[in-house]
């Protein structure tokens, strides 16, 4: 069975229905109430079902191993619903919509007819927008529509801001959360079937801004420092669809079970090695780098750094994929020039890096300490193992301040 997505932009795109969408409880509910897949995702009455799932999961007794690592088959919702998880029902509802959107995007990307149709669309915008953003690819816009609809439907996002939109969007005067996101990181790689991802940062709404004009309070809410994040998520669309979630008490990895649409816990309390043996950066830019960064790379490649082992290079050119590998195996993932976005990419990933024992820096400052001054602000980004980042920073001059005009 096929269903057409609800957005007018997606009128020509069909994707498999239900099996990779929201939590199985919602699917079962939709079947019992004879709801169509479209209504399942757009009818906000089903928030009551989400709330019921969250409430029931709070009463569940969860298994745990002696080292504090959870054992057994846990879905994202049951994991967040533990009494000691630190999350509230409203955050669980919001994250349930995030996971549903990511599952839908994963299904979209896995469909050959969808990818072909989307990649044949010609974007109408110029290569660079008036705000300095890269012009979105067709699937960027599709993913953006899916996520915005999910967040709006959650009823828990007061304001949202997307890398693909010029300005933030105010949704709800009383909702408790603020969500910033990159809907489809690495989209230029889709034609080559290289992994892509989505990135989310979640803040609390600044109640002190409630009396301000809508545009002003929207901007102030989305330009919070990363240290104020209450949750961050990234989704990796690859051979498996992986969701890494942190609500400020560690980082936890869930993998999409395509047979029932659940994200199942596969790695709790994920810890990044304190030092790795892999660095991820575009080596082709070596001669444009500052001396400090060249010296660091020369040293670790030859085994002359603090780690006597020689480092290897692994570079996918998809930030989420390079970062996910770094979280698992240690090392560094970096872009030394001011290219990545502080609000949408650097802050959420640095939050997860720190929650898993690593670090995030712009080459001089801790990322989470930086006050954003504009929505689409760019900066250098260095993410990775604590010891590797500290060693890299000791080389001082590592930010590439000059862009000679790369086309790729």
Active site residues: 134, 140, 163-164, 182, 184-185, 345
Look at residues 226, 234, 181, 174 and name the one whose alpha carbon lies nearest to residue 205.
174
Residue 26's CB: how many other CB atoms inside 10 A? 21
Nearest to 245 by CA among 74, 19, 66, 56: 74
Q: Which residues contact 287 (CB under 8 A, 6 or more apart)?
A: none
Q: Which of 94, 89, 110, 98 lies closest to 235 in space, CA to CA?
A: 98
Query: Quick one: which H or E segment has residue 26?
Result: helix 24-32
Helix (H) or strand (E) run with residue 386 in it = helix 386-393
Q: 381 near 335, Cβ under 8 Å?
A: yes
Q: How far apart are CA 314 and CA 309, in angstroms?
A: 16
Which residues are CB-neighbours of 163 under 8 A, at least 6 positions away?
A: 133, 181, 182, 183, 341, 344, 345, 376
Q: Give the CA count within 13 Å in the CB-facing half-sphere of 376.
A: 15
Number of H helices, E strands in the chain: 12, 15
Pairing of strands 359-361, 169-170: unpaired
Q: What is the length of the chain?
A: 408
Q: Is residue 40 within 8 Å of residue 26, measured between CB atoms? A: yes
Cα 379 to Cα 393: distance, rounded to the nearest angstrom: 16
């Amino acid at each position: 069975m096929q269903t057409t997505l609800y957005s007018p932009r997606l009128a020509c795109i069909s994707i498999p229905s239900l099996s990779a969408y929201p939590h199985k409880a919602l699917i079962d509910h939709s079947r019992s109430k004879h709801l169509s897949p479209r209504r399942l995702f757009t009818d906000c009455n089903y928030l009551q079902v989400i709330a019921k799932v969250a409430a029931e999961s709070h009463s569940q007794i969860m298994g745990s191993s002696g080292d504090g690592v959870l054992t057994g088959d846990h879905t994202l919702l049951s994991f967040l619903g533990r009494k000691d998880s630190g999350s509230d029902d409203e955050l669980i509802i919001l994250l349930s919509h995030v996971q549903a959107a990511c599952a839908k995007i994963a299904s979209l990307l896995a469909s050959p007819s969808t990818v072909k149709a989307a990649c044949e669309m010609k974007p109408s915008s110029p290569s660079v927008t008036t705000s300095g953003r890269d012009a979105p690819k067709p699937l960027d816009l599709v993913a953006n529509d899916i996520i915005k609809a999910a967040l709006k439907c959650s009823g828990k996002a007061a304001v949202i801001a997307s890398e693909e939109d010029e300005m933030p969007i105010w949704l709800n005067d009383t909702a408790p959360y603020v969500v910033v996101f990159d809907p489809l990181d690495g989209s230029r790689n889709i034609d080559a079937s290289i992994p892509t991802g989505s990135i989310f940062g979640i803040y609390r709404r600044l109640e002190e801004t409630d009396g301000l004009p809508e545009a002003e309070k929207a901007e102030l809410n989305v330009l919070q420092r990363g240290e104020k994040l209450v949750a961050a998520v990234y989704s990796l669309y690859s051979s498996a669809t992986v969701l890494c979630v942190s609500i400020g008490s560690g980082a936890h990895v869930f993998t999409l079970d395509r047979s029932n649409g659940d994200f199942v816990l596969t790695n709790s309390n994920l810890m990044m090695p304190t030092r790795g043996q892999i660095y991820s950066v575009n080596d082709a830019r070596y001669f444009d780098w500052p001396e400090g960064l060249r010296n660091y790379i020369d040293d670790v490649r030859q085994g002359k750094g603090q780690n006597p082992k020689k480092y290897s290079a692994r570079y996918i050119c998809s930030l989420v994929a390079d970062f996910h590998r770094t979280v698992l195996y240690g090392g560094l993932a970096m872009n030394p020039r001011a290219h990545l976005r502080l609000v949408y990419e650097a802050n959420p990933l640095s939050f997860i890096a720190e929650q898993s024992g690593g670090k995030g820096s712009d080459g001089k400052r801790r990322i989470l300490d930086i006050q954003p001054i504009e929505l689409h602000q760019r900066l250098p980004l260095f993410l990775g193992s604590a010891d590797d980042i500290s060693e890299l920073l000791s080389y001082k001059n590592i930010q590439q301040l000059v862009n000679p005009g790369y086309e790729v």
